[in-house]
Structure 1
Amino acid sequence: MAARDYGQHCGVTRALELVGERWALLIVRDLLVGPRRYGELAAGLPRIPSNVLATRLKELQEAGILRRAPRSRVIVYELTPYGRELEPVVLAMGAWGFRALGEPRDEQVLTPDALTMTLRTTFRPEVAAALPATAYAARVGHAGLLIHVHGPSLAVTRGDGDADLAFTAGPGIHRVIAGELAPDDAITSGAVEVLHGRADLFGRFAATFHLAA
């Protein structure tokens, strides 16, 4: 199945043969958020050529990492239990890569699924447990994310709803999470725009989602 054969009998080598091809882990990242239709996967990875997406889905399915499943008369792709075992790997890679993000380039975008995984990666349950339960609504492009923090528990879902604080989120929000941009400065500079709610709650957000040094 693997497009590459590294000629080594090793677990790391085999993992790279299964998910090391370009775009494969990003497909897994988005499916860790939830099942997706083909079009939803394509929309979440705007630069992936359609033939490459089709090839990767076929390869990942043959490897037992994902499967096609009927949902409400449509076909979605979802991770198998074997595929879901990649979640701690993806989260660890996200935390590792976060430290080298640097400034976003003009052509770089932030997708709802990417932000969801960033929030999972940087969530600090020990901090959240000492804070009041809070609901945030983040506007990511044309999509909305509802972020519910209740004690040490985190739930992130697509959609709109009641929230204590609603704000826009673009690539610059990573600077807040990294501790490079203070919450007040993020609002003042326009990196984050408060849509409604108490602006001071963005400081609570920044404390709850923070990449520990």
Structure 2
Amino acid sequence: MRYRQHCPVASGAEVIGQSWTVLVVRELLHGSTTASQIALGVPEMSPALLTKRLKQLVEAGVVVRSATGGRTRFDLTPAGRELALVLERLGQWSRRWLPRPGVPI
């Protein structure tokens, strides 16, 4: 999604606000380095969408892709690792303000 605004929040949301992207970053923060490892953490995500999101994260400078011996690896850049703070705060906010899945409101 493109907001086409100069607001830093809008710019950040363009990078990590698309469906599944935050969960892909979460998996990378938890140590996943291959698409198959990431897929285990987001089992409902289609492989095609995972590939697309990883490509977008690489283009945004959040992830770096490398290939060695026919194996592709994905690692967070310093910018990507800094998202740990954002995701931690999002999780804290969610635990405090949102009902747990499956728990009636």
Regarding TM over 0.5, the answer is yes
The within-5 A match list for 1:1-213 is 4-70=1-67, 74-99=71-96, 100-104=98-102
Equivalent pair of 2:32/2:38 in contact (CA under 8 Å): no
The structure whose residues are more often helix, as a share, is 2
Q: Give SS of 2:66's match.
A: strand
Q: Report the Cα distance in structure 2 between the residues aligned to 1:45 and 1:12, rounded to whole angstroms.
A: 25
Higher strand share: 1
Give 1:59 shift: 0.3
TM-score (norm 2): 0.86
TM-score by length of 1: 0.44
Measured in 2, the distance between the counterparts of 1:69 and 1:101 equals 40
* Contact preservation (8 Å) 1:35, 1:76: no
How far does the alpha carbon of each residue in 1:46-104 deviate from its partner, in whole angstroms, 9 at most, with x for none? 10011111110000000000011346863221100111111110000011111224254
Letter in 1 for 2:25: V
3-state SS of paired residue (2:72): strand
Gaps of 5+ in 1: 106-213
Q: Please state how far the C-alpha of 1:12 moved relative to its aligned partner.
A: 0.1
Partner Cα distance (2:69, 2:93) in 1:
38
Distance 1:26 1:103, change over 3 A: closer
Measured after TM superposition, the shift of residue 29 of structure 1 is: 0.8
Instruction: Return the index of the structure with the highest Cα Rg.
Output: 1
Aligned length: 102
| % same residue | 36
